[in-house]
Structures are given as C-alpha cells and as structure tokens.
Structure 1
Amino acid sequence: MRSTLEREDFSRRLMEALARVGDDGSSPTRLAREFNRRYPGAPVTLHASRKWLNGEALPAQDKLRVLAEWLGVTPEWLRFGDSGDVRGTQRQAREAGQAVDFELARELGALSPAHREAVRALVKALRQGEASVRGGKAKRGKA
C-alpha cells in the first residue's frame, strides 16, 4: 500500500514540475521524447513514461536525477516531496536549457561518416554566423 502511495505522490510531483516548464503532463510520448534528449543511457520507452505519469512506477535513481535537472527541481523533492526547496539550484535551472541532446547525438552517430562531416560543417557555419551577429550587435551598442 505504501509503495502505491509513493508512486502516486511521485506522479503528482512530476506533473507539477512538468507544468512549471510549460508541459501539462498529458503526453507520455512528449515526456519520453524530452527525457531521452537529456539522458545519455538507453532511451526510455513510451510505456515507462506512461507508468511514471500514471503513478504505476518510479524511475531509477539515474533517471530521477536527469528528470530533476531538466525540470529544475531537486531529485529529493521529486522522489520524496520533503525537500525544503522545491526548486533546484540556480545552476541546475541555468544549465537545464544548455543540456546535451543525447537523442540528437545518437541520431548523428547513426549517420554515415560523410553525412556526419556535412553536419559538422553546417554546425560550424551556423556558429560562425551567430558569432558575427552577436559581434555586430556589440559594435552597434558602442556607438
């Protein structure tokens, strides 16, 4: 009985944290996709994310840490609900938007070497373009 309540409480806190980042928690597909972008291990299934949302299962500790980091809460609060500070550290919140997209990395790894080089060249060009735009704004601001 206690484990059922723990899973349901976790689900409620997960939905609350998702709402804070603009997700209503109604889509296990969206949860799995966004989680897998941030998780370096084997991707979670739609079935697993549905179980988290419905209070049928708890994620493993490594997955819980990734969820908490993404959602800007502490792992303790997400799992147990008794942490004094619902929000994660400011560093966690700041870094959440800069997380590595592991799903993209897996997809890039599946490309042929020639296509990976093409993507690398494209990314380099995009970064140079962004740098020149930022540089142009800085020069205009000094005038």
Structure 2
Amino acid sequence: MDEKKQFAKRLRAAMIAAGHEPRPSVLEKHFNARYWGRSVTYQAVRRWLLGLSIPAQEKLQVLADWLHVEPQVLRYGLTGGTRQAAKSMGIRAPHWDSIAATDQALIQAYLSLPEATRQHLRAFIAALR
C-alpha cells in the first residue's frame, strides 16, 4: 500500500480513536477551527482521508495536536522509538499494517497519554487478565 493510503488509514483511525467520525466535513470543521493559516477546503481534507495527498508539516502538527497523537506516528506510523514503545507494551506484531485500524488508533491514543496514566492503564489491564 502506498504512503498516502497508509497516512489516510492512520488519520481515519486517529479520528475514530478521538471520538470523531472520519468524514471530510468533520475534519474540515475541526481543522479550520484550530489552524492559524488559510482555511483548508472540503476537497483538500477529503483528499487526505482518501489517501490522495498528505498535508504539509504545519498542518500535520495541527492534526496531531487535535487528535492527541504524535505527529511522526500520524505521518509515518509506528517506527523506531514508537515501535520500541509498542514492544514494551507487549505488542508483538512485526507488521503494524496487519493490525486493525481501530486497534492502531487505540494504541496511538495510549502512546500519547502521560506516563502516569499509562501505568494506571497497564495495571488495570493486568487485573482484567
């Protein structure tokens, strides 16, 4: 799958994890409310969600802040240090793309939490086993 399609998949998953429907109208409204530059069009955000284009870095930062994910995770997925963090959580999937989008979004949301909150969640999950 190409880079733009992978980005779109991560963007949709992050929107779902943040409690938003992955629709262009939703993305356009929330993005433009936070972006300090020229507003983006419905067509532009639709292209992001369809995997036809990737936003510029300053727009990617706004998306990441809004969706509570690291910009590099949104842009590139789990690689390097973020992959190590996933392994430390017990995730043994060598191919991130083989994980369902909703699970990817959950993991990304978890990784964006403060360490103290992650510790509480780990203890809670351990108690459920």
Conserved? CA contact 1:32–1:45, under 8 Å: yes
Relative contact order higher in (CA < 8 Å, ≥ 6 apart): 2
Q: Residues 74, 49 of structure 1: CA spacing in aligned structure 2 closer, same or farther, 3 A cutoff?
A: same
TM-score, structure 2 as length reference: 0.62
User: Max radius of gyration: which structure?
Assistant: 1
Number of the residue aligned with 1:16: 13
Number of the residue aligned with 1:88: 112
Q: Aligned equivalents of 2:113 and 2:34: distance in 1?
A: 18
Number of the residue aligned with 1:66: 62
Q: Deviations over 1:95-137 (max 9, x none)?
A: xxxxxxxxxxxxxxxxxxxxxxxxxxxxxxxxxxxxxxxxxxx
Number of the residue aligned with 2:43: 47
Code of the aligned partner of 2:20: D
* Structure 2: runs of 5 or more not aligned: 86-107, 115-129
Q: CA RMSD in A?
A: 1.5
Number of the residue aligned with 2:94: none
Deviation >6 Å, runs of 4+? none
Q: Aligned equivalents of 1:24 and 1:45: distance in 2?
A: 18
Tell me by how many angstroms 1:6 deviates.
0.5
Number of the residue aligned with 1:98: none
Q: Aligned equivalents of 2:25 and 2:16: distance in 1?
A: 16
* Structure 1: runs of 5 or more not aligned: 91-143
TM-score, structure 1 as length reference: 0.56
Conserved? CA contact 1:69–1:88, under 8 Å: no
Percent identity between the aligned chains?
41
Q: Aligned equivalents of 2:37 and 2:112: distance in 1?
A: 22
Q: Aligned equivalents of 1:74 and 1:65: distance in 2?
A: 8
Q: Of the candidates 13, 32, 57, which is equivalent to residue 36 of structure 1?
A: 32
Number of residue-to-residue matches in the alignment: 86
Q: Aligned equivalents of 1:74 and 1:64: distance in 2?
A: 10
